[in-house]
Structure 1
Amino acid sequence: MAVFTPVTEDDARALLRRYQLGELVALRGITAGIENTNYFLDTTGGAYVLTLFEVLTAEQLPFYIELMHHLAGRGVPVPEPQTLLDGTRLTELNGKPAAIVTRLSGGYEPEPGPAHCALAGQTLARAHLAAQDFPIHQPNLRGLDWWKATAPALAPFLDPGQAALLQGTLDEQIAFAASGAPARLPYGPAHCDLFRDNVLFDGTFESPHMGGFIDFYFAGCDTWLFDVAVSVNDWCIHRATGAFVRRRLEAWLQAYHAVRPFTEEERAAWPAMLRAAALRFWISRLYDFHLPRPAQTLKPHDPRHFERILRLRTEQPAPALPRP
């Protein structure tokens, strides 16, 4: 959520004339993140977020926009895309596809406790089940095919140990896919980027309330277990080391399992899926760090964080998933 494409107040006023959201009150850029241009957009009608999509095309975007609309309609707390006067929910601004969504209340918790983890796990399971009948299919665009295509470009930036870890894990994931095991796992629309800064909470630290999930623009159809692995690799760790915090992990997984029970096939696939989730973000952070796109406020993440996590998931036994 960096600012790649400038938007003026006059641009915003012209855009708002195509909605029924009131008049412009304030517009300010959001500097966090690295993929899209985002602005807080306050109007006389409410508080919104304006997103200009820098990578995704207008042809790809209906999946994300309509998925949020679908989930919001089923009571899952997500930003709700707003409908233009012409009945659509996707438009264009300054040459980029754009959308306006509701701004959820609350803030993210940088050091979540077990109660935050339980709420996140429970809500992700609800989102998975609510999306089962979503009619649009789009694969996870940052899945295995993207890893294979991107890895060669990273080779010049890796030392021999890093190169061996990346290639060895990638080979494992290619073999895992070829085995047919992923096809036996529950599958459907998934967030695929549910880090702690993509979830908002109200209430207090001791008694949090779910505000909602944000930033669905890496979502895609994938195994739900991959979505869980991505989440716990961020929510349930010591940031400095990547090691799991057991109380957080148990709270997260038990809360998810209570809504959507894990299968035996998922239990068998869990160690490989934890490594897949770490590999995905190590590759993307290496790419963003060494081969960045120009931006006004770009803050690439340190790729060494997910290198550490991947080494731990490779060297240490995976914690077991809950059982009935």
Structure 2
Amino acid sequence: MAQTDISSLLDRLAALYPALPPQLAQAARHILDAPEEVAMRSMRSLAGHVGVAPTTMVRLAQALGFASYKAFRRAVQEAMRQPGAGFAGRAEWLQELAGRGDAGEVMGGMAQAAIANIETSSRGLDVATLAAAADALRGAACVHVVGIGGMHGLATYFAYVARMVLGNVRLAEPAMGVMVDELATLGPEDALMIAGVDPYGAETVRSAELARARGAAVIAITDSRASPLAPLATHLLIAPTASPQFFPSQAAIVVMMETLIALLVSRGGKEVIRRIEAVDRFRAEHGVYWRSS
């Protein structure tokens, strides 16, 4: 299996997921969220961690077209065998943090989770999908940005920065708490940029359903291929959110958003540069930036 095939393998698993029996679905969901564990754990260890019988892992591998779980695991290992920079130094740093007492242990756990989420997201990201998502944003008559609950701050950040690059970005701010009113003008020439993670907000899913029904492109950043946003997405971007604390980590989502914006800039030519310069100049002229006297 080539390096880039990890994404297509996970796409195949995600396509099977809705029709799988409960035990197979439980195993599939875990692998979709943490494919690296297939490479690192033995079959029995992973099955025990997921809470299913080892034979369930074998049946899942066979459902994906592999003759055995061993063949499936070897394929995943080959796909993930990419050179990494500074792993030893990073491990030493995390161990040092853990030795500093409770605060250091918490800090180390948070750092480790954020790094793992970003790496997993990057390894599983199909570059063609990312490029297509950026093109959909660039070509849209209007980009409606939606983030509900914990995602609202990230949606605001994305809209704020993307507005410097594109002239067609609109943050959906629900009037009187009704998001559907904000999307009333959404049409097939538009795009919906939406983020949602487990537990998935009902309004988040309804917003994506509305956009899909209206024929708009749906660029969805979510935490799993088993997410209810996945089948609604025209362009699906996965950003894991595992965290040792009670709330989902947002680090990989921020990186995904910033990567999208960077791609928009890199593909925008001189027009984008002129737009950013104009926005920056306007802000400076109107005292937006603080300057020491």
Give the structure-2-normalised TM-score: 0.26
Higher Rg = 2
The structure in which a higher percent of residues are strand is 1
